[in-house]
């Protein structure tokens, strides 16, 4: 009698597991062959603990537009077709909206990220450009002091080897602290800054000295410290004690019900309203700021690092970039700084950043959960509520079906031809207009720092025997030295 109990328990567990791993078969979807074999369980293990690599690797195993796979006990629909991926991401009917960004006002439900998209309009970024310049100045000052000190074990001729991956990550932190949190600080000097601590906790993993991307706990002491910074800043701005052209100012205007839509003439002052009319709480403002901090650092740092890395690998491309910078900054000596209009005219750098986000997308996979049944276009299948789909963005953007010679770094692939036809397909910072509302902001700050670097220094890659490009939540260079670059003043050329 007692022997029947464990047999019954094991039978129920077996039937439950088999029921889960037959989900796609029961729904009539194309699916991977599932069983309780060793090879299948090993694939499930890989997806659980090496999610991005496993998902992007499985993309190569078939040609179906979509296929059902399993990640531990989760059935996931893998999207293999670029047009279908765009359709899903650009869906306007709310099938795949993130409930974390929904809020209700006047009995209507809104997506908060869509409402905040005017924060990063081109006209707003132009007004914030001076604060972006300050962040660039901090990086250049740090490099100048390092070069002047002659800290280099490799040479004694004024050449200095630095880890540009670490420095560009700190630049990204500096930009976010200045533009999102509204603080006039220099994290290159304030090494105990809460922003650097947040960055290090988010990026550091045992055994890797560059940066990796483990998530912070939902509630950490750093989160509460950042919230205190936001609360103090919001109160100062609502009292009229501080007016600053940055994203925090726009967030506070939105919180107070002020119009933040793009207008020809925009007033940065905050119109005070009664407390009961606040649209979002200070706690919600802090959450938005932390979301932009976490995602902005990864996007800015990875895009800047890999754009610099690829340009330095091609001396001819690097010279073209330098020539473009010099051609568009003829009045630099008079103005001391390159202005916003000059930066806009540097089209080659735009193409380089586009090519970087294609070859090294800051988000290797995009996952969304279906919130109500969705009939997949051009098929007889329906994705049920609660079931996720995943888009292997890294694999799609390295697919020969969409990009010729995908592993080559060719910025010219996006140029129009002589007949005005567009270049190769491009997905920008993810798929769909909703994926990254701050993509113009990211491209601007990356472009600006590259201009400052190439106009201030001669640079070349140093030999790195252990260099490896890895993915966790975002691309990074796994190396003891990070991205090791030799610097000299722009007035002194390297002897090749």
Shortest CA distance to 395 belongs to which of 423, 368, 439, 427? 427
Of 181, 207, 213, which is closest to residue 194 (Cα–Cα)?
181
- For the chain, first and last CA: distance in Å? 84
Nearest residue to 399 (alpha-carbon basis) of 57, 67, 32? 57
| Rounded-to-integer distance, Cα 301 and Cα 123, Å | 24
Beta-carbon contacts of 240 under 8 Å, excluding residues fewer than 6 positions away, are 269, 270, 272
Residues 6+ apart with CB under 8 A from 4: none
Instruction: Report the alpha-carbon distance of residue 71 to residue 34 in Å, rounded.
Output: 12
Q: Judge residue 288's burial from the number of C-beta atoms within 10 Å of its C-beta, 0-12 exposed, 13-18 middle, 19 or more buried.
A: buried
Residues 6 or more apart from 142 whose CB is under 8 A from it?
167, 188
SS3 (DSSP) at 374: strand
Is 370 assigned a ligand-binding role in the annotation?
no
**Cβ contact 66:29 at 8 Å:** yes
Cα–Cα distance, 108 to 130 (Å, whole number) = 38
**Residue bearing tokens 């609502």:** 238
**What Cα–Cα distance (Å) separates residue 403 from each residue in 80, 221, 326, 364, 424?**
15, 45, 31, 17, 7
Tokens 């998902």 map to which residue?
A: 55
Rounded Cα–Cα distance for residues 131 and 152 (Å): 31
> Where does residue 240 fall: left (phi above 0), alpha (psi -120 to 50 degrees), or beta otherwise?
left
CA distances 158 to 161, 302, 461, 485, 491, Å, are 10, 28, 16, 14, 12
Contact in structure between 171 and 162 (CB atoms under 8 Å): no
Put the strands of the sheet holding 160-163 in their side by side order. Answer: 160-163, 484-489, 457-461
Asked if residue 396 lies in contact with residue 66, where contact means CB atoms within 8 angstroms, the answer is no
CB 377 within 8 A of CB 87: yes
Residue stretches of the annotated binding site? 436
Residue stretches of the annotated binding site for heme? 436
């Amino acid at each position: 009698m007692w022997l029947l109990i464990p047999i019954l328990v094991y039978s129920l567990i077996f039937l439950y597991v088999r029921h889960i791993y037959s989900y796609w078969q029961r729904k009539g979807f194309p699916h991977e062959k599932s069983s309780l074999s060793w090879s299948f369980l090993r694939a499930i293990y890989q997806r659980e603990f090496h999610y991005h690599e496993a998902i992007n690797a499985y993309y190569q195993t078939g040609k179906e537009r979509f296929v059902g796979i399993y990640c531990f006990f989760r059935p996931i629909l893998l999207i293999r077709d670029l047009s279908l991926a765009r359709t899903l991401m650009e869906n306007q009917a709310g099938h795949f909206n993130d409930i974390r960004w929904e809020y209700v006002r006047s009995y209507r439900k809104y997506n908060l990220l869509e409402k905040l998209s005017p924060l990063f309009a081109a006209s707003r970024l132009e007004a914030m450009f001076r604060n972006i310049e300050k962040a660039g100045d901090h990086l250049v000052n740090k490099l100048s002091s390092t070069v002047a000190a002659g800290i280099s074990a490799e040479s004694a001729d004024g050449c200095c080897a630095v880890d540009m991956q670490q420095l560009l990550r700190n630049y990204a932190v500096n930009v976010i602290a200045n533009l999102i949190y509204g603080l006039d600080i220099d994290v290159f000097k304030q090494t105990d800054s809460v922003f650097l601590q947040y960055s290090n906790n988010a990026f550091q993993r045992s055994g890797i000295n560059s940066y990796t991307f483990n998530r912070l706990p939902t509630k950490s002491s750093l989160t509460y410290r950042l919230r205190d910074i936001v609360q103090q800043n919001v109160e100062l701005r609502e009292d009229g004690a501080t007016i600053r052209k940055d994203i925090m100012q726009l967030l506070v205007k939105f919180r107070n019900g002020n119009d933040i839509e793009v207008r020809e003439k925009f007033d940065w002052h905050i119109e005070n309203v009664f407390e009961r009319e606040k649209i979002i709480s200070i706690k919600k403002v802090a959450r938005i700021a932390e979301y932009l901090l976490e995602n902005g650092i990864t996007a800015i740092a990875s895009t800047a690092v890999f754009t610099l890395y690829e340009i330095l690998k091609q001396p001819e491309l690097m010279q073209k970039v330098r020539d473009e910078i010099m051609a568009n900054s003829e009045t630099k000596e008079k103005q001391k700084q390159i202005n916003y209009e000059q930066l806009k005219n540097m089209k080659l750098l735009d193409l380089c950043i586009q090519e970087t986000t294609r070859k090294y997308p800051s988000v290797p996979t995009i996952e969304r959960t279906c919130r109500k049944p969705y009939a997949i276009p051009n098929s007889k299948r329906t994705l049920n509520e609660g079931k996720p789909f995943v888009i292997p963005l890294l694999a799609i953007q390295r697919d020969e079906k969409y990009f010729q010679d995908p592993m080559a770094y060719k910025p010219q692939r996006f140029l129009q031809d002589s007949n005005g036809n567009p270049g190769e397909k491009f997905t920008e910072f993810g798929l769909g207009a909703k994926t990254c509302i701050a993509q113009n902001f990211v491209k601007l700050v990356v472009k600006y720092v590259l201009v400052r670097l190439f106009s201030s220094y001669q640079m070349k890659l140093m030999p790195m025997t252990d260099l490896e490009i890895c993915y966790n939540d975002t691309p990074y260079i796994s190396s003891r030295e990070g991205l090791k670059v030799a610097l000299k003043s722009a007035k002194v050329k390297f002897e090749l």
